[in-house]
Structure 1
């Protein structure tokens, strides 16, 4: 019995020593990986590409991230924002997938709808969203359908009785929401595409060239046009997401307006990208250590006081989604059941 107890004590001691040794090895390996990444990024410039022209919501969030993310990366590299508009974000996403260096020196923020476009088989998508590496999203936020007050349209029902010209950048959510509501909910939106970015559409609304936008995040309206919200120059007639925004309790979700379960399933699919929000991603082929460091840096950044203080100053809502969660959302969307995806694809053809 004594020998047995002695053996157990020695075994326990050996186990503790082994665990301690393993912890030291793992800790040392992690520290060495950080040192390697710090050496890799130190003195480097990371290009932070933004898929739209300056002045809009994507640009505001992209530049905010570019100011702070480098402080949380090993080696503290400098991030330089660069606008690359075109094709509703397709130009940038294709560049990241096919051209940009695969060493972690290129980050991007492109349209949230691109993943959905891949899910419905859009032939203009020349990349695989599942193979892009998703770093995080600083702002999951409902999109809105908003009209200029001078149009006389005050409710969603009004838009089923009166034509409103909708400005759009291209075959993405800016035009697709109007196509969807025309097809399933009876709106009379006339869609005009070709604007370089959201700010250009806003200017067109001011001049009377168009009467509204069919997909602009609620947080972006509050950040970039707070006077329009305050003074009632724009009227939000519907919101696109899976739950209502807390400060839009009386504005219906598109899913609330669906006429049957089949239509609701299609509307729910096109509403899901609201969670993708303002996505940050990098190229295929980056090392696991690099991607892990980027995701950890993003998570630390969105929790930091300086980042949140600056976001509040710019009136940018922060409602982050981690890179790991974003990668799963992307995968789920890409693998949408075919019948639902095919019906949506038939509706949102390029205008």
Structure 2
């Protein structure tokens, strides 16, 4: 798969530190009996720092029953939605209150990553204090209201000088950074309406006709937006794509008939390789989508409990019906466990400083957002 090759070669480069840490983990695993851990009769509380109905909520609720099935003792998994602050409210709460006994887990997503990486003043959490047990790559699609009379990406590009758009957003430093920057690079006239408590809220604003442009990650798009397309209410414009083994943007295998952003950028502006803005966009796409959603435990969680969780996630992805249902609900992306989950965390934390500086200036100039 394209995305899998990227993990191995382009995006998730394993440093000597990661190799060393992995070796230590394997040594420790031989000494610790993770099978002695049981959550029988317990309740796992999963904090989802987003409103119900969005991509992260859909993802978390999909995994909940499989976690119950795979964790030792088959504990009940309860979803706790804590939206607000571009996901910082829930993440901050988890950082303050989460117990390290294996009964508290965070469902993190790109908005949570970005606000941390960009030094958002609302952030009171540190990814270095957390350990990943499973990560899910994803993609996304930008789509327009059928009422605008646009039928495809080419018509969209050809009519950019005649169209005005409204986009309901969580905030410029949230996951919406990727679609908002993409649209700005294309030259689209977009008014961002901030204050949404999740992408699900943005989609509902789109359905009510309050905005005419929206984007959703793959899981929410497949479940919530495809029906709108089939009903003739929405028109897909472009996907964000995936990265191949050579670091090039390619079509998302989940949306082979939808052009990726690079194709649409070439329609509008020409060769993307010469554009600093496009390259910055790609850096944030990698940081936010290659490991777009991650389940996290406090790093202080005892090793036997961490290993019980990691073993359970390895078993989870091997459950007979998991792959089929995951492809239908989340999209055709490989779930990352064990060492690959560690590498996914490394990709989040390795965003280059040049991209951070460029985006900080763009945010200030475009949205008067000072980090």
Q: Which residue of the partner structure matches residue 67 of structure 2?
A: 69
Q: Which residue of the partner structure matches residue 21 of structure 2?
A: none
Q: SS of the counterpart of 1:348?
A: helix
Q: Which residue of the partner structure matches residue 234 of structure 1?
A: 234
Tell me if structure 1 keeps the 8 A contact 2:178–2:281: no
Q: SS of the counterpart of 1:49?
A: strand
Matched residues in 1 for 2:213 and 2:342: separation?
32
| Superposed displacement of residue 264, structure 1 | 2.9
Matched residues in 1 for 2:326 and 2:222: separation?
12
Q: Which residue of the partner structure matches residue 185 of structure 1?
A: 186
1:251-296, Cα deviation, whole Å (9 max, x unpaired): 3333442372422320111211212233211223112222222122
Q: Which residue of the partner structure matches residue 102 of structure 1?
A: 100
Tell me if structure 2 keeps the 8 A contact 1:179–1:348: no
Q: Does 1:278 align with 2:293?
A: yes
Structure 1 segment 47-62 matched on structure 2, within 5 A? 47-62=45-60
Match of 1:341 among 347, 350, 356: 356
Tell me if structure 2 keeps the 8 A contact 1:301–1:307: yes
Q: SS of the counterpart of 1:97?
A: helix
Structure 1 segment 1-351 matched on structure 2, within 5 A? 29-30=31-32, 32-35=33-36, 37-38=37-38, 41-137=39-135, 139-153=136-150, 154-155=152-153, 156-158=156-158, 160-161=160-161, 162-213=163-214, 215-241=215-241, 242=243, 243-256=250-263, 257=265, 258=272, 260-272=274-286, 273-308=288-323, 310-311=325-326, 315-317=329-331, 319=333, 320-349=335-364
The alignment's TM-score, normalised by the length of structure 1, stands at: 0.81
Tell me if structure 1 keeps the 8 A contact 2:114–2:175: no
Q: SS of the counterpart of 1:245?
A: coil
The alignment's TM-score, normalised by the length of structure 2, stands at: 0.77
Q: Which has the larger Rg?
A: 1
State the superposition RMSD in angstroms: 2.6
Q: SS of the counterpart of 2:282?
A: helix
Tell me if structure 2 keeps the 8 A contact 1:134–1:282: yes
Matched residues in 2 for 1:159 and 1:209: separation?
21
Q: Which residue of the partner structure matches residue 6 of structure 1?
A: none
Matched residues in 1 for 2:352 and 2:137: separation?
24
Matched residues in 1 for 2:123 and 2:139: separation?
24
| Count, aligned residues | 319
Change (3 A) 1:190 1:174: farther
Change (3 A) 1:42 1:128: same
Q: Which residue of the partner structure matches residue 20 of structure 1?
A: none
Matched residues in 2 for 1:93 and 1:323: separation?
23
1:217-236, Cα deviation, whole Å (9 max, x unpaired): 13321122332132342222
Please list every run of 5 or more consecutive structure 1 residues that lacks an aligned counterpart in the other structure: 1-25
Q: SS of the counterpart of 2:110?
A: coil
Matched residues in 1 for 2:179 and 2:29: separation?
53
| Superposed displacement of residue 152, structure 1 | 2.8
Please list every run of 5 or more consecutive structure 2 residues that lacks an aligned counterpart in the other structure: 1-27, 244-249, 266-271
Tell me if structure 2 keeps the 8 A contact 1:167–1:174: no
| Superposed displacement of residue 192, structure 1 | 0.5
| Superposed displacement of residue 326, structure 1 | 3.2
List, as ranges, runs of 4+ consecutive aligned residues in structure 1 with deviation greater than 6 Å.
Answer: none
| Superposed displacement of residue 185, structure 1 | 2.7
Q: SS of the counterpart of 1:199?
A: helix
**Structure 1 stretch 215-224 or stretch 294-303: which is displaced more?**
215-224
